[in-house]
Amino acid sequence: MLDLTHYINGDHQQGESGRFADVFNPATGEVEKRTPLATVAEMDKAVAVAKAAQPAWAAQNPQKRARVFMKMAMLLEEHKPAMAEALSREHGKTIEDSLGDIQRGLEVVEFVMGAPHLLKGEFTEGAGPGIDMYSMRQPVGIGAGITPFNFPAMIPLWMAAPAIACGNAFILKPSERDPSVPLRIAELFEEAGLPKGIFQVVQGDKEAVDAICAHPDIGAISFVGSTPIAQYVYQTATAHGKRAQCFGGAKNHMIIMPDADLDQAADALIGAGYGSAGERCMAISVAVPVGRETGDKLIEKLKPRIEELHVGPYTDEKADFGPVVTKAAQEKILGLIETGVSEGAKLVVDGRGFSHQGYENGFFVGGCLFDDVTPDMDIYKTEIFGPVLSVVRANTYEEALDLPMKHEYGNGVAIYTRDGDAARDFASRINIGMVGINVPIPVPLAYHSFGGWKSSSFGDLNQHGTDSIKFWTRTKTITSRWPSGVKDGAEFSIPVMN
């Protein structure tokens, strides 16, 4: 069995705690690797290295820093196939899905090549008699990222690329379930020319998370995971005087209007609901058809499509999706399906008994479809994070709109319609952070920001886009006056512009 490492100061380092987490191949259910779980002392070591390396990196002009990302983009493109294979082996998602995971991270690397422009401040000549005023963006110092299992390439790059481009050092605590790709990212950053100590990987669990939140030299923390832990990290980090952006769970709705193209909507629901076995924070898990006829026709189109889904290991090129990440995840999903049945929802497609020949011990769950789900049911309120789609019927547009508006989560939402007025009204009124109009998974591109509302997000600034530059920098404003023509004598009133 292979023991993985931390990546500190440009070197792979064995764990010192004696504690490990098992890394599974979800398709077989076998433990193939172990990842070390860091002590506070190991985190302290990484922070000390980052603190020593960061000032020289920040002193590099932004264009030189951007050139590292130009090289990094080429390396990610070159190594994408091998990284995708490693990612799929530990996560379970298909190779095509893993390639997309890496690509979306690469696009943020491409975005931060524009750091010389993004970091420009503001300047006002003649703000007062002989006075110039200007602002500059300066790095926070040391940033940290705590990332989930479901996107082990994309989300670390979403966090690290802007942080490093802004002149910070960055410490990544990836998920212990699929840690190999983050280690490879660290190697590629160094190959791209990033100095030792600027990007480090410290494996770990809650002990490492608490060490990040409490360390006085870490100035900013980015987190993605479940809502309870997002709230915990946000409260703990801010209590220690840090800025934090923490992104939590989701229950994303798709409203299907009577005028929608139902074949298009059904295909969108299949991809958005079952891709990556539903293990996406932007997965559509609730379909809301408006009107009885719309609902009946939608179920009629969804049922055969779901029954025909091809579930298999990542090595099966025909697989639509693979296993979920762990046995515990599988058991949680199956338990929630049982809850839905007991609550009275109609299980139209039952994937509980799915088993793949030759992979009987894998963590597979077949595609499931519930109809007649109501807002008081646990399967509606809870983020299942598996291949389960719930249909909640609405009689009117207003009733449909009310469902995501009142839900605890506010990550993503979509509407399918041919009516531009309805789409415009929906986009304007909905209290959700990311909205799709005839787009099932409205994940913004790298130059726009990603983030939800309500219990899906804690903090004021989102990931990537210009928000990321604001998050990983502090603004300093300078008011400058030179002696020429300045009168003598003290002034005791607050400066004003007359």
pLDDT tier for residue 1 given thresholds of 50, 70 and 90:
confident
pLDDT attached to residue 492: 78
pLDDT tier for residue 494 given thresholds of 50, 70 and 90:
confident
Mapping DSSP to helix (H, G, I), strand (E, B) and coil, where does residue 464 land? coil
Q: Quote the tokens at residue 161.
A: 């690329």
Q: What average pLDDT does the segment 445-455 reach?
A: 97
Q: Which amino acid is at 208?
A: A
pLDDT attached to residue 488: 62
* Other residues' Cβ atoms within 10 Å of the Cβ of residue 275: 22
Please identify which of the residues 166, 213, 246, 281 carries the catalytic annotation.
Answer: 281
Q: Where in the chain is the domain with CATH 3.40.309.10?
A: 252-437
pLDDT attached to residue 483: 78
Q: Where in the chain is the domain with CATH 3.40.605.10?
A: 2-248+456-478
List pLDDT tens digits, range 189-206.
999 999 999 999 999 999
Q: Any idea which architecture 2-248+456-478 has in CATH? A: 3-Layer(aba) Sandwich (3.40)
Please tell me what DSSP assigns to residue 12. Answer: E
List pLDDT tens digits, range 80-113.
999 999 999 999 999 999 999 999 999 999 999 9
pLDDT attached to residue 51: 98
pTM, to two decimals: 0.96
Q: Which residues, in sequence order, are CB contacts of 311 under 8 Å at separation 6+?
A: 319, 320, 321, 322, 351, 354, 356, 364, 366, 367
Q: CATH homologous superfamily for 252-437?
A: Aldehyde Dehydrogenase; Chain A, domain 2 (3.40.309.10)
pLDDT attached to residue 486: 58
Give catalytic status of residue 213 as yes or no: no
Average pLDDT, the chain: 97
List pLDDT tens digits, range 333-372.
999 999 999 999 999 999 999 999 999 999 999 999 999 9
Query: Quick check: 485 pLDDT over 70?
Result: no
pLDDT tier for residue 129 given thresholds of 50, 70 and 90:
confident
Q: What average pLDDT does the segment 398-427 reach?
A: 98
